[in-house]
Amino acid sequence: MDRADALIAAIEEEDRLLCDQLARCPKTLREMRGSGNSLSFKDTLGHLAFWDSFAVQFFNQRLDGMVRDDSERINFEERNRQELKRIRDLPYAEVHELYRKATRDLQAFLRQRWHELSSKERRDIHLSLKHRRHHRVLLENAFQTYFSEGDAREAEGEA
């Protein structure tokens, strides 16, 4: 996938699949974490929003010449934990909108700046797609494990 339009289309498809899962999840369960304290739907949306917003900001800064020194390491995991804590206090609708905005911003970045990215940077930005797919599959597995097919059919009317 060496073209922006192909990557954008793949991100749109992942977004569609995730939103389909979300529509089947009863509203009352969207903030419930799975076994082993796994991420809830709300947590996942917030996590993806943080990740994609961070990626867009990072690549914009890199392309604008504000390159970080390799010795300046970002404690990404700590920032992610802080962000998860912050979003858990937000209403679900607000977290969902953060996710929608991050998705739009990522797509806009790819449309506007893809041609400026090096081959390595293009490979690196693909991590956003792989990351989304990874979390969608985790949620899909949790959904299949924790919700019966009857619950899923009932939820379709609640979304």
Q: Which residue has the higher pLDDT, 61 or 156?
A: 61
* CA-based torsion, 91, 93, 97, 100: positive or negative: positive
pLDDT at 120: 93
DSSP string, 15-76: HHHHHHHHHHS-GGGTT---GGG---HHHHHHHHHHHHHHHHHHHHHHHTT-PPPTTS---H
Structurally, the chain folds into a number of domains equal to: 1
Report whether pLDDT(89) > 70: yes
Return the ∠ at Cα 29 (arms to 26 and 30), rounded to 5°.
90
Q: What is the mean pLDDT of residues 96-119?
A: 97
Average pLDDT over residues 25-34: 84
Question: In terms of residue numbers, what domain contains 13?
Answer: 4-156
Percent of the chain past pLDDT 90, that is, above it, reads 59
Contact 96, 45 (CB under 8 A): yes
Quote the pLDDT of residue 4. Answer: 93
**Stretch 77-102: mean pLDDT:** 93
Which CATH number fits the domain that encloses residue 136? Answer: 1.20.120.450
pLDDT band at 150 (very low <50, low <70, confident <90, very high): very low
The band of 13, judged by pLDDT with boundaries at 50, 70 and 90, is very high
Q: What is the pLDDT of residues 113-131, one digit of tens each?
A: 999 999 999 999 999 999 9
What's the pTM value of the predicted model, to 2 decimals?
Answer: 0.84
Chain segment 30-58, per-residue pLDDT in tens? 888 876 678 889 999 999 999 999 999 99
What is the rounded average pLDDT for all residues in the chain?
Answer: 86
**Residue bearing the bigger pLDDT, 150 or 15:** 15
